[in-house]
Amino acid sequence: MIQIGRTQQLRVDSLQPHGAYLVDAGEELPKLPAAYGGAALSVDAERILLPTNQLSGEAEGDLVSVFVYRDSEDRPIATKQLPKAELGLTALLTVTQVNRVGAFLDWGLPKDLLLPYREQTRPVGEGDEVLVAVYIDKSGRLCATMKLYPYLRTDSTHKKDDRVSGRVYEVSDNFGAFVAVEDCYSGLVPKKDLFFPLSPMQQIEARVANVLPDGKLTLSLRDKAYAQMDGDSALILSALRSAGGFLPYHDKSSAEAIKARFSLGKNAFKRAIGHLYRERLITIEEDGIRLTDR
């Protein structure tokens, strides 16, 4: 079947003065995530027009790679001009204008892509870059959404402890920071591992802490404990020197106080000061930690 919103191989059925009519060539397209549904994907027509200005010597029976969308009059139409985003893909697009129905995004086709207000997770303005997924609304039109969670892929080849880059797309007080790894895979920095604030559209480097059974990635902003300890120790030494050699924090301090002062978890803090103590760089006193005379 001919599918809206996707690049596909179609066959030239007939050539007319106003273009070529294309029909299904039987290509098996990659399966889309469940979030996209199914029935709305198919075009309610056995053949679809590729306008004359898109032709380059095709003959009847030829296969041609096209993207199928709806034109300014909401008619299904084919184009050889490939968009920056389509169903099953996420993309970073630029806002061209904002009006009473929503924001419009440049996705590389003559008709801009609508980002409705209800699909925005924060206000956007002209010139802003936004990470979006493309979906089909109830009227069968292609639109964009910033609510990425159900549309991100879960088939990455990343393994535990891999280093990855990603873009924060939502921050939840309950769960943590949701991240689009490589702008397309589903990732989460859990709330307990957020030792400093993150904001939407912020790009981060992270470590894959776990690959869940459903393919989603749990991320950590810190290296493994043994690799992170030297960095944490250096941070605490620097803070001690800036404070004149003494800080009122120790292994009995609250996790909240440690996190607020050093952006470290309590276990990481205890490992770091233990390391500094064994190296005889600090002493641990009842009311805090102190630089030694070394």
Structure tokens at 8: 């596909």
Could you tell me the fold of the domain covering 225-291? Arc Repressor Mutant, subunit A (1.10.10)
Backbone torsion region of residue 292, taken as left when φ is above 0, otherwise alpha when ψ lies between -120 and 50, otherwise beta: beta
Model pLDDT, residue 229: 53
CATH 2.30.30.90 fits 7-79, yes or no: no
Q: What pLDDT, in 10s, does the model give residues 208-243?
A: 999 999 999 999 887 554 445 567 788 888 888 888
Region 106-115: mean pLDDT is 93
Map out the domains of the chain as residue ranges: 7-79, 90-150, 153-220, 225-291
Rg (CA), the chain: 27
pLDDT band at 38 (very low <50, low <70, confident <90, very high): low
Q: CATH topology of 7-79 equal to that of 90-150?
A: yes
Strand-strand pairing, 129-136 and 7-16:
unpaired
Model pLDDT, residue 294: 54
Model pLDDT, residue 227: 47
Q: Do residues 177 and 189 touch, judged by C-beta distance below 8 A? A: yes
Model pLDDT, residue 146: 96
More confident residue, 37 or 273: 273
Map tokens 């978890």 to a residue: 265
Region 6-34: mean pLDDT is 90
pTM of the model: 0.73
Dihedral of CA 142/143/144/149: which sign? negative
Model pLDDT, residue 226: 44
Q: Do residues 263 and 272 touch, judged by C-beta distance below 8 A? A: no
C-alpha span between 43 and 286 (Å, rounded): 73
Model pLDDT, residue 232: 79
Dihedral of CA 136/139/143/147: which sign? negative
CATH number of 153-220: 2.40.50.140
Map tokens 């996707």 to a residue: 6
83-97, 109-123, 240-254: segment of lowest average pLDDT: 240-254
Strand-strand pairing, 217-220 and 185-190:
parallel
C-alpha span between 6 and 135 (Å, rounded): 11
**Cβ-based neighbours of 68, under 8 Å, separated by 6 or more:** 2, 3, 4, 5, 6, 8, 43, 48, 76, 77, 78
- Percentage of the chain lying above the pLDDT 70 cut: 95
More confident residue, 3 or 40: 3
More confident residue, 196 or 216: 216
More confident residue, 281 or 22: 22
Backbone torsion region of residue 26, taken as left when φ is above 0, otherwise alpha when ψ lies between -120 and 50, otherwise beta: left
Q: What average pLDDT is seen over the chain?
A: 88
Q: What pLDDT, in 10s, does the model give residues 256-288?
A: 888 888 877 888 888 888 878 777 888 888 889
Could you tell me the fold of the domain covering 90-150? OB fold (Dihydrolipoamide Acetyltransferase, E2P) (2.40.50)
Region 115-126: mean pLDDT is 96
Model pLDDT, residue 49: 94
Structure tokens at 280: 């005889």
